[in-house]
Structures are given as structure tokens and as C-alpha cells.
Chain A
């Protein structure tokens, strides 16, 4: 092979004295912090499984966990960018509440009644979602502009927003709950119908695996083009196998959670399918909100690491003055970050209200704290400049796992809050230790 010489990575002198695990970590260039979080998550899962008598690690619970995480997971990807630039957004829960309300009113009153679209008209869910996105992005733009151009601290602007948008959500219907949602819109929230089924889940798995392999290949080719040191081939293979294995495992779990017996029977009767002995097994597959959250996660990772916008976000977090002196329009970037956050709140609002099948003025209450906690547990530093989307998503899963696990164990809800609070502080302390030892 022509590129043999390029593959031979100059061996670090200490390579020979390292144990196999250290060598593996070094060759694959895996982020050890992320790996530590995955380890912590594994411990939490196994621990809850033991203490809940085997209830935690079941397809049913894991599937539910994934759906419950989706809304916070969508928002946390934006919160990372905000915290990285040394800002904070306390208003995300209230924006979610208001946008949920607006979308609810759009699809139950304005579009079907005032515009006379028939119930279930396909435009209803499209236009409701679009309106929600516009409202979310608009609110974000306004808050961002006040922060960037009028120089009011983000903490204050979004603390104000926290009150304003919650009040506005109340005002939309004078506190009335709006329900039920449009049939198609409900699919965004998950449930048996709002899942893609086993066949499509496998399609997703194949696409994801192909993307992992292609990503590794193109990364390698790019490094070869400039003659940079490359990972050894076995390390690339290990990464590909781990990535694809995790994907396939997740799809296997999602596919082994069947529809509830009653719903499956109704479906069989409606479609003239004979029900076999012992009930009909229809897989849920991956839930639509989870697909949305994964899509958002991938898109946001791309945005953060592969675009100028993302580069500016991190540079501004590391040294705002240097970013300004380098000629970056830091104010406009700040506005864009908050617009993005508003849009993500709208997506999360769609997921939450569709899942509840109602818009209430309490929707999203306390979400801002869960979102910030997830970002911080995921390694985002409040001092700015540090944080990854993947870490924050893992943080969201950790938070939801804790809550879900404690419910399964039958812990009282005051105790649940106490545990979550203690874990948050403990996790950040561990992270501080880790960072201190690294340097």
C-alpha cells in the first residue's frame, strides 16, 4: 500500500510501559472524560437494576427513559453553547410553556375553527409547529439582542424572561388547559403510534452505522492528505465496532419492547390481522421524539465543531476580548445563540405537549434547572469555554435515569429532589478534581 509509511504513527516512548487499557485509550483518542461519564451511567443503571429488583434494565423502562429524556435533551444542546459563552438561560422552561400553549391554541382553535381547516388537516400540525418555531426563535432573538446590544447580563434578562413568558403562557388561554392535540402532532410525543416500528428502526441503525464508518474513513483520508499522524488501523476498527455495536444494541432494545396487548389487539382487529396464540407482538421501535433528539444532537454537534459559528462560540467563551479583537462580531453571534436556544425550546415544547396530549400553563416548569444541571453534569463549565454537546446529552440521560430509577425504587418525591441536588454538586466536584489532575 502506498500510504503505509503514513500509517506508522511515531510511537510515544512511554507506549511500551503502558498497560493495554492506556494504550487503547491513547490510540483511539477517546475523550476519557466522556468515557468516565459512560462508566458512571453504567454504574447508575446496574445499581438501580439491582435495587429495583430487575425493573430498570428492561426494554420497557429503557424505552420510556429515552422518551422522557428527549425534551430536556433537545434543549440542553443549546444550553451548552449559551453556558460556553459565559451566559445562562433561565427562561427555557417558560419559553417551552408559552410556545406549547401557542401551538396548542393554533391547532385546537385558530386553524380548525377560525381558518376552517377540518380536524386532522395536514396543514394544522405543520403550521402549528412553524408558528411555535417562529415564536421561540423570536423570543430568543429579543432576549439575545437585549443581552448583546443593551449589555444587560443574561442572568437578569432570562430571569425576567422566566417570569414574563410564564405569565404570557397563562395569558394565552387565561390559564385554561388546551387539549386534545392534533392526531399527527401527537406522534411527535411518542407512544405506540409515535414510534417508527422495527423495520424503520433497523433502517435508522444501518444509516447510523454507515455514517460512523464513513466519518472514520473521511477523517482518516483527510489526515492522510496532509500527512498528519493517524490512528493505528486496529484502533479505527475498534471505534467502528464499538459505535456500530452500541447503535445496534439500542435498536435491539427498542425493538424488543412490544405494543401493549390491548392496543395491539385493537390494531389487529382494525386491520384484519389474525391474533396468534399468546398475543400479537408489535415492536415499538425507536420513538419519534427520540429520533428528533438524536437528529438535533447530531446537527448541533456538527454546528459546534465543524462550522465557523461553533468555532466563534468556543473562542468567545475562552477569551471574549480576544474574539472581539480577532474581528468576530461577538454581539451578533450572541444573538444567534439565543435564537437557536429559542428554536430548540420550541421543538422541546412540541415534544412535551404532544406527549402530554395537552398544553397546560405548567408545562416545562423547572425545566430550566434540569437543562442547566444536565449541561453541567455533562462537563460544561460555568466559567465558559468548555463543554460538548455529546457530554451534555449524556448528562441529560444521567439526570433522567436518576429520576426514573428512584421512581422504580419507590422513593418518596422529596427524597428524589434531595438526591438529584446532591448528585449535581457531587458530579461537579468530581469534574473539578478531574480537571485539576489533568494539568
Chain B
């Protein structure tokens, strides 16, 4: 068995630039089993970009990714999925024109012995998973575009947990949801955490993150301002980190900290 102190994910000195603009600048971040790490920052702070490097949507220009202490090669979303990294994107990456089951299994369809799609088996599994996530969900035959925002979000989340993810990336998972559905997502995160899954939670909403995350990492202008255990800092101090880059005593400063 692996040493439990080995981080599940270690991203070191990750840099990526788009046409001369450094979207992510020597950022380092890690994640342990059963831990929720909140990633905070303004729009354009580089948090989504950093995390897309991990999920394979972007290729990094420099830096290392280690999964379970071993160097990982992640060049596209398929590679990331092979490492057990699942992502729920901000813009709900679902195909609107096909039904929930087709979306859940997109790219990993169940097939019959002769290689054709086994729609009935997929729908059956989809009913099972969606039943756990959102018991009121009934519209299995309709294209996803006919669903409400919350229902679409539960489809996206169900897809991520369907394949036994070890590392879950949630990019603004509650942005499109009402209060009740947001609470459901919160419960779900706690449940997944107790299963030993590591979760990166990206959000604007500092309250959400304070409720759910064990540790916080704040980014500004593509750099890590600092990181702290949620219990060691107050919301105002974290706001200060997000807005001004001022690192409070309870936090460990990063390369983006003010006066650095």
C-alpha cells in the first residue's frame, strides 16, 4: 500500500501561456485522498485553466504532474480519465441532443457481445445512479436540452461518479443550481469525500467553499497567492487574499503573495 502521506495529485510549477499572456504562472498545488481543496480567485485568475491542465483539456507549457507520487503523462481528456480523473465543467459539458444515459456513458458506452450499443443496460445503470443522486429524475428518454439546469447538472455529476473516479474536479458545480439542489451537491461532496475521493472544488462562492473544503488555495493573475487550512483563516482574510493578494498569518504564502 502507498504511503498515505503521498499526495494523490501533485502539480508542480505548472505554466501555460496563451499568445504571450501567462494564464498560469509557476503554480503548484496538491491534493490528498479524501480531501476537498477549494480553489478560489477572481474570473481570469487562472484557476479554471490550471485545473484544465489536470483534466487534459489544455497542454501545459512547463511543470510536472504526479499522481500517487508517479509522474503522469496527460495530453488529452482520455489520458486524464485513465488516471481516474473526472471533471465536471463550469459550462456543463453535456451533449444537448441525446438523452441522459447517452451522456453518462459518452466515450465509454456499454456494448453487447456483438459490439452494438446496449442502450437498455446503459439506461438501467443510469436509472440506478441518477436515483441515488436525484430521486425525482424521471426523464430518461428525452434529450438533455429539455431538462432544467439542476437536472442537467445532476447528469454531469452522475457521469463523473459513474466510473469510480479517484480524483474529481468540480468547476463551479453549483453555478446553475437553486438552493435545494446546491445543498444536494454539498451532501454528495461529503459522501464522495468519505469514499476517499480527492476533490478540487473551484468556486466564486466563498461560503460554499468554506462549508465544504478542508483546505483553500487562492489564485490571482495566474499565480498562487497562498494556501491555508479552512479552519485557520476567516472569510474576510480569504477575501483579502482574493482581492488584494494579502496573505494572513494563518496561511502559507505562495509566489503570488503581495510584497513577494
Contacts and interface: CB of A to CB of B under 8 A. Distances in A.
A222 B91 CA distance: 35
Contacts, number: 83
A325 B57 contact: yes
A319 B94 contact: yes
Given A322-B95, A327-B78, A315 B106 contact: yes
A318 interface: yes
A161 interface: no
Interface in A299-313: 302, 305-308, 310-312
A228 B121 CA distance: 11
Main SS of the interface on chain A?
helix
A383 to B, nearest CB: 10
B116 A315 contact: no
B62 interface: no
B15 interface: no
Nearest to B146: A439
Given A308-B109, A315-B106, A322-B94, A226 B121 contact: yes
Contacts of B76: 327
A326 B106 contact: yes
A310 B97 CA distance: 13
Contact of B98 (A223, A226, A318, A439): A318
B96 A319 contact: yes
Interface in A21-68: none
A265 B46 CA distance: 83
B4 interface: no
A306 B116 CA distance: 5
A405 interface: no
Q: Which of the four size classes fits the interface of chain B?
A: 20 to 34
Interface string B84-111: 0001010101111110001100111101
A386 B97 contact: yes
Most chain-B CB neighbours within 10 Å: which of A307, A311, A312, A317? A311
Contacts of B115: 307
A319 B107 contact: no
A339 to B, nearest CB: 19
A252 B195 CA distance: 65
Contacts of B81: 327
Contacts of A212: none
Interface in A66-96: none
Contacts of A323: 95, 106-107
Nearest to A305: B117
Contacts of B109: 308, 311
Contacts of B57: 325
Nearest to A323: B95
B107 A327 contact: yes
Nearest to A224: B120
Given A306-B116, A325-B89, A439-B146, A311 B94 contact: no
B7 interface: no
B28 to A, nearest CB: 25
Given A311-B106, A315-B106, A322-B94, A228 B120 contact: yes
B104 to A, nearest CB: 10
Interface in A307-351: 307-308, 310-312, 314-319, 321-329
A132 interface: no
B124 interface: yes
A223 B127 CA distance: 14
A326 B77 CA distance: 7
B98 A327 contact: no
Contacts of B77: 324-327
Nearest to A381: B97
B97 A317 contact: yes
Contacts of A307: 115-117
A305 B78 CA distance: 24
B120 A314 contact: no
A192 interface: no
A385 interface: yes
A225 interface: yes
B102 A226 contact: no
Nearest to B92: A322
A356 B67 CA distance: 64
B181 interface: no
A322 B93 contact: yes
Contacts of B94: 319, 322
B89 A314 contact: no
A88 to B, nearest CB: 18
A344 to B, nearest CB: 21
B237 interface: no
B93 A226 contact: no
A317 B97 CA distance: 8
Nearest to A439: B146
B214 interface: no
Determine which residue in B97, B98, B115, B117 has the highest number of CB atoms from chain A within 10 A of its CB, and name it.
B97
A225 B81 CA distance: 31
Contacts of A314: 95, 97-98, 102
A308 B115 CA distance: 9
B46 to A, nearest CB: 19
A82 B84 CA distance: 33
Contacts of A321: 91, 93
Contacts of B87: 325
Contacts of B117: 305-308, 310-311
A3 to B, nearest CB: 15
Nearest to A319: B95
Contacts of A317: 97
Contacts of B120: 222-223, 225-226, 228
- 8 tightest Cβ-Cβ pairs between the two chains A and B: A318-B97, A318-B95, A385-B97, A322-B93, A326-B107, A315-B95, A327-B78, A327-B107
Given A314-B102, A323-B107, 6 more contacts: A228-B123, A302-B116, A315-B106, A319-B96, A325-B77, A329-B78
Interface of B: 55, 57, 76-78, 81, 87, 89, 91, 93-98, 102-103, 106-109, 111, 115-117, 120-121, 123-124, 143, 146
22 contacts: A222-B120, A223-B120, A226-B124, A306-B116, A306-B117, A307-B117, A308-B109, A308-B117, A311-B98, A311-B102, A314-B97, A314-B98, A315-B95, A315-B97, A315-B98, A319-B94, A321-B91, A323-B107, A325-B89, A327-B78, A328-B106, A385-B97
